[in-house]
Amino acid sequence: MEGLNEMISIINLEKAIKKKKVLSDITVNFEKGKIYGIFGKNGSGKTMLLRAIAGLIYPSKGEIKINDLVLHQDISFPKSMGILIENMELLPQYDAFDNLKILSRIQKKANDEEIDTSIKRVGLNDVRGLKIKKYSLGMKQRLNIAQAIFESPEIILLDEPTNAIDDEGIKLVQSLLVEEKNRGATIIIASHHHDEFLPICDKVMYMVDGKIRNEN
Ligand SMILES: Nc1ncnc2c1ncn2[C@@H]1O[C@H](COP(=O)(O)OP(=O)(O)O)[C@@H](O)[C@H]1O
Ligand SMILES: [Mg+2]
């Protein structure tokens, strides 16, 4: 039956900024429990598309449905979403646990043990008490990934998740995302590194000039 497993449904999405179409003609569905890769060159519109799905920008045309609820109409944001997007700020004067603990007060979905587990899952071991300002870029990125998954959201949006992460970390992130998929999460990864995520993606799409050029 059509629509049964659709978590995110995008219909004729267009986003224009100062007359320039940064997204156009985007019609695509994302099903529950699958990993999607969105690849494309810098400036092709990957971040913009993730921001649109997250409810962070208003479409100029078209609509985005999350579980059949229309964004900016029925809901402001996807109800259960974890997101990693550029320019995210961790609190530098706190450690990893406290950063996630502070975030957990918003949704109240993760307990202390789940916070600890997610920090370990991204390979940050023995970091209790270590302030974020002492972290390397790669460690921060790992914590950003922990932040996106720690409340077991239905939708996980990751923008260039492997930035600054070493090969070992990339493998860890890959297997962690497969685990998240297996519990039923819908995962969308935007990356200009085609090779890194290809092995775990159920479906990949390429963006060129704000359009999805092809899917396979
Ligand atoms: N705040 C903004 N104002 C105007 N144009 C923007 C803004 N952010 C991004 N763009 C433009 O939107 C297009 C897509 O950008 P982006 O989604 O960041 O690409 P990608 O993530 O694929 O590198 C680019 O042409 C970029 O210059
Ligand atoms: Mg980008």
Residue with CA at minimum distance from ligand 1 atom 20 = 43
Question: What's this model's pTM, rounded to 2 decimal places?
Answer: 0.95
Asked whether residue 1 is assigned to any structural domain, the reply reads: no
Ligand nearest to C-alpha 20: 1
Domain that holds residue 186: 6-215
In a domain, 185, yes or no: yes
Q: Within a domain: residue 72?
A: yes
> What is the per-residue pLDDT across 160-207, written as a single tens digit (0 to 9) for each?
999 999 999 999 999 999 999 999 999 999 999 888 899 999 999 999
Let me know if residue 139 belongs to a domain: yes
- The predicted structure's pLDDT at residue 141: 95
Residue 41 lies in a domain: yes
- pLDDT tens for 6-16 read 999 999 999 99
Instruction: List C-alpha distances in Å: 211 to 46, 72, 103, 143, 200.
Output: 9, 22, 34, 31, 23
Distance 80 CA to ligand 2 centre (A): 22
pLDDT band of 214, cuts 50, 70, 90: confident
Q: In a 10 Å sphere around its CB, with 0-12 CB exposed, 13-18 middle and 19+ buried, how is residue 74 labelled? A: exposed
Q: Report the CATH number that the domain containing residue 83 is assigned in CATH.
A: 3.40.50.300
Atom 2 in ligand 1: residue holding the nearest Cα: 17
Residue 96 contacts residue 119 (beta carbons within 8 Å): yes
Does residue 175 sit within a domain?
Answer: yes
Pairing of strands 81-84, 155-159: parallel
Question: Is 3's pLDDT higher than 60?
Answer: no
Q: How far is the CA of 160 from the centre of ligand 2 (A)?
A: 7
Number of domains observed in the structure of the chain: 1
